[in-house]
Amino acid sequence: MDERKVTVTRRGAERIARGHLWIYRTDVEKAPAGAEAGDVVALVDGRGRFLGKAFWSARSKIALRLVTRDEVPVDEAFLAARLSDAIALRRRVFGEERFVRLVHGEADLFPGLVADRYGDVGVVQTLVPATDRRKGLIAELLAGALDLRTVVERNDVRVRELEGLEQVKGVVRGPAPGPLEYREGEVRMRLDVLAGQKTGAFLDQRENHLRAGEYATGRCLDCFSYAGGFALHLARRAERVTAVEMQPVAAGLLRENAALNRAENLEVVEENAFDYLRDRSEEEPAFDLVVLDPPAFAKNKESLPAARRGYKEVNLRALQVLVPGGILVTASCSYHLSPEMLEELVLDAANDAGRRVQVLERRGAGRDHPELAGVPETRYLKALFLRVL
């Protein structure tokens, strides 16, 4: 209920003033005894001055997520307006694109909500109690705004456990979605929003997929290929593409997508990418372009040292298999590995390989995944486009 008040420390108030949306439990000075997970509460400082309204979490270290700085009801009309604003941004950037991220959590001032669109199917992730309690309403609002046939939830993510929420997936509204086809430029891809990774596709890399395809020539290698987002774009210009994917289900989907796009110059190799690169590094350099798009190696701060070793190893091997003048596209979706860290370890790998690298582009997630100034957590994906000398 909106009338409940939570008093935050001076440090918490200053954090909000600097633009962040999160208040940690250690900065909660006083909370009402009756507050339940998912309630909307008013934030005040030690002097009782209003700071905004936030979603309350009972278990997470992040106790509060700011929703608005205004003294307005956070009701159905408010949520509808917030969704409408997010959708309007996508239309402004992408026109009538029907495959797009609609809501990117904190970056769209809607903490704890991710929403993607695949044609007439919407996919939501309600990651905190406040959005989870309202997922039926959110599904109705999205379906009404976009004339969606179906809305499903992909709440099978571990972060929900930090909030005391179960991992679940299924249909929230409408009939079962069935198999879908999605487009990136001229590339067609099949997906399953209930069985695939993330919400069905890697929308955050879409613009990087297209960009990498513009550099393709000769022989190309795509590691950690999954369903072929990079490989299929490379195949449109390259003479030959090798896509390495160790998961049998993903490799099967990759082969289907290659056939769908008549990419006869695309070879799928079911193998661990580290092993494949190590073996190729013992041969003469043969690739004109290599893509590295691994899963997040650093899930938390504690895993960062091991993750850095993994990122360096895979980049070292990629540099060793590239011909002089070749292009390395290397990405990391680990928030805890900063852009500066990624560049540093790539430079270390280049020095160990006896190579020099030119930075051609520094890129991130697509424009449907905006970053909110003041909330560095909304910047997680890094991609470097490098020329190897």
> What residues act catalytically?
333
Count of Cβ atoms closer than 10 Å to residue 156 Cβ = 13
Distance between terminal CA atoms of the chain? 61
Rounded Cα gap, residues 43 and 62, in angstroms: 14
Rounded Cα–Cα distance for residues 193 and 273 (Å): 25
> Residue 211, class by beta-carbon neighbours within 10 Å (0-12 exposed, 13-18 middle, 19+ buried)?
middle
Q: Which residues contact 142 (CB under 8 A, 6 or more apart)?
A: 83, 102, 115, 122, 124, 148, 151
Q: Which residues contact 334 (CB under 8 A, 6 or more apart)?
A: 296, 297, 298, 299, 304, 307, 380
Length in residues, the chain: 389
- Residue 59 CB burial class (10 angstroms; 0-12, 13-18, ≥19): middle
Locus of tokens 């400082």: 45
Give the amino acid at 148.
Answer: L
Task: Name the amino acid, one letter, at 47.
Answer: R
CA distance 217 to 253: 24
Give SS3 for 32.
coil
Task: Work out the number of other CB atoms within 10 angstroms of the CB of residue 175.
Answer: 8
Q: Give SS3 for 239.
A: coil
Facing residues of 329 across strands?
291, 385
Residue 219 to residues 10, 97, 125, 235, 288, Cα–Cα distance (Å): 58, 32, 38, 9, 5
**115 half-sphere exposure, CB direction, 13 A CA radius:** 34
How far, in Å, CA of 129 to CA of 151, rounded?
A: 19
